[in-house]
Amino acid sequence: MEDLVEALFEAEAVKFGNFTLKSGLASPIYFDLRVIVSHPRLMLQVAERLWDVGRSVCHSALLCGVPYTALPIATLMATAHERPMLMRRKEAKQYGTARMLEGAFAAGDVCVVVEDVVTSGSSVLETADVLRQHGLQVRDALVLLDREQGGREILAGAGITLHSVCTVSRLMQVLLDRGRVDRATVDSVSAFISQNRATSPPPASSPAPSLVPAPGGGPGAVAQSYGQRARLPSTSAVASRLLLLMEEKRSNLCVSADVRMAAELLAVARAVGPHVCLLKTHVDALDDFTADLPERLAELARSHRFLLLEDRKFADIGHTARRQYQGGVFGIASWADLVTAHAVSGPGGLEALAGVGVPLGRGCLLIAKMSSQGALTTQGYMQATVAMAEARRDFVLGFISTERVTHDPSLLHVTPGVKLQPGGDDLGQQYLTPEEVVGRRGCDVMVVGRGVLEATDVTAAARLYQQAGWDAYCGRLQPATAS
């Protein structure tokens, strides 16, 4: 394995310096395993080492490489050991059979996923999802390099065991022992890895999450101020816009303006405007939506400095979701700063929404854990949602969730089901208090609908919630950063 690590270094599949990752993070280490196609002996070595770590699970399984880098690697493994292979397409063909998966298989067959590098596990999950949608069983994934940034745990949450040839720590030790890197480089890589771990949520049976520092000992999301988080390199432009606005207005309140008439909606926007960072709408629930309403709302949003969140909860296949976002009578993309979407339809739906939203500077909140009783948003689903968000950080600024699903301070948690009096309604809604949501659970924005709307004085109620949310936030900050 030591020789393989050195050969990867020589082939420049591992590089050190200052790199900006796809996620926007600045990293001192970069892996580019694509280069190994130019080094046939190295490719064979990689395939053999992967077979060695996966021998016990591969001998009777189909193999599927994550496109594209792992495709030739899986091919070498499959031919050398006479195992049948499957090929996953990244896009369905536009002609002939619109198959996403090529090769012969039957429902119930076991398939092992092969990948070059695993960070959060999202690319393995994407391929595993396609395989599972075709009735295949996916229980194991083989990876050359585990970056030790939470991928193993996230995959375990989705029922997949990760078998790795090498971890980043091991790789760094080998390169240090062989005089290829110095101690300072090893230290900067290990600091980066421990500070940028995608964490998996606690198991379903655990009590409500308490506030914990980020892995590696640094201040976690809950201990940093909104302003500090707005300035992190990994925070997207739309997330920092919201975080700065929250800090400036001293508000982590989103009022859910669930009313029937457009005039009522405008009146609520006017009444709560000074106290909110977000105004959430359901324009498809209005009895009298007209094309001029969005501009009138946008005007109020500009003058009171809040963002508009249309709670559309997109959930369809990409082709349909794109039309729903861009077109129709509501033309949501043209005015809503943020939208909500379910992860249920897989990455294609999100891709389609991002294709429309990113060029317009819009953002999306993925629904990770719903507030309603009996919600089907299970731990595995929540973890897969986090992986999906991480793969589209340019569009996804966080989650709708009743608990934190990641410690990453650049992702926001927006929590519905909030009232000063805990309890619920007769249709399964469950309420938590601002102190529980922001103070104890470490969520960032609280969504309040009826708690404000049913008050006799809507402005006074919004002010009360604003204060309660802000007090809970200040209480959770380290004394040094409390404002």
The pattern of x and - marking residues 412 through 451 that bind ligand S5P according to CB under 6 A reads ----xx-----------x-----------------xxxxx
Query: Cβ of residue 309: shortest distance to ligand S5P, in angstroms?
Result: 9
Q: Is 347 in the site for ligand S5P (CB under 6 A)?
A: no
Run of H or E residues at 113:
strand 111-118
Query: Cβ of residue 280: shortest distance to ligand S5P, in angstroms?
Result: 6
**Which listed range, 238-246, 296-304, 330-338, 364-372, lies at the site for ligand S5P (CB under 6 A)?**
364-372
> Of 370 and 405, which has the nearer Cβ to ligand S5P?
370
**Residues 233-292, interacting with ligand S5P (CB under 6 A):** 256, 258, 282
166, 145 contact by CB (below 8 A): yes
Run of H or E residues at 253:
strand 253-256
- Strand, coil or helix: 287: coil
Which of 371, 379, 385, 410 forms a contact with ligand S5P (CB under 6 A)?
371
End-to-end distance of the chain based on CA atoms, in angstroms? 51
> Of 163 and 312, which has the nearer Cβ to ligand S5P?
312
> Of 168 and 452, which has the nearer Cβ to ligand S5P?
452
Pairing of strands 111-118, 140-146: parallel
> Of 121 and 398, which has the nearer Cβ to ligand S5P?
398
Interface with ligand S5P: number of residues (CB under 6 A): 17
Would you call 311 a catalytic residue per the annotation?
yes
46, 36 contact by CB (below 8 A): yes
Q: How many whole angstroms separate alpha carbon 350 and alpha carbon 415?
A: 21
Of the residues 140, 311, 408, 444, which is catalytic? 311
Q: How many whole angstroms separate alpha carbon 232 and alpha carbon 161?
A: 32
Query: Cβ of residue 289: shortest distance to ligand S5P, in angstroms?
Result: 16
Task: Please choose, from the candidates 56, 99, 63, 97, the residue with its C-alpha nearest in 3D space to the C-alpha of residue 80.
Answer: 63
Find the Cα–Cα–Cα–Cα dihedral 37, 39, 40, 41, rounded to 10°: -140
The pattern of x and - marking residues 56 through 95 that bind ligand S5P according to CB under 6 A reads ----------------------------------------
The pattern of x and - marking residues 379 through 408 that bind ligand S5P according to CB under 6 A reads ---------------------x--------
> Of 74 and 400, which has the nearer Cβ to ligand S5P?
400
Task: Please choose, from the candidates 104, 123, 44, 112, the residue with its C-alpha nearest in 3D space to the C-alpha of residue 76.
Answer: 44
238, 338 contact by CB (below 8 A): yes
Query: Cβ of residue 125: shortest distance to ligand S5P, in angstroms?
Result: 23
Return the residue nearest ligand S5P (CB atom): 449
Q: How many whole angstroms separate alpha carbon 483 and alpha carbon 480?
A: 9
Query: Cβ of residue 291: shortest distance to ligand S5P, in angstroms?
Result: 23
Number of Cβ atoms within 10 Å of the Cβ of 318: 19
Task: Please choose, from the candidates 191, 159, 137, 209, the residue with its C-alpha nearest in 3D space to the C-alpha of residue 29.
Answer: 191
**Residues 199-218, interacting with ligand S5P (CB under 6 A):** none
Tokens matching residue 193: 């890895």
- Strand, coil or helix: 152: helix
Query: Cβ of residue 16: shortest distance to ligand S5P, in angstroms?
Result: 44
* Helices 458-476/262-272 angle, 10° precision: 50
Q: Which parts of this chain interact with ligand S5P (CB under 6 A)?
A: 256, 258, 282, 311, 340, 370-372, 400, 416-417, 429, 447-451
The catalytic site residues sit at: 311, 313, 316
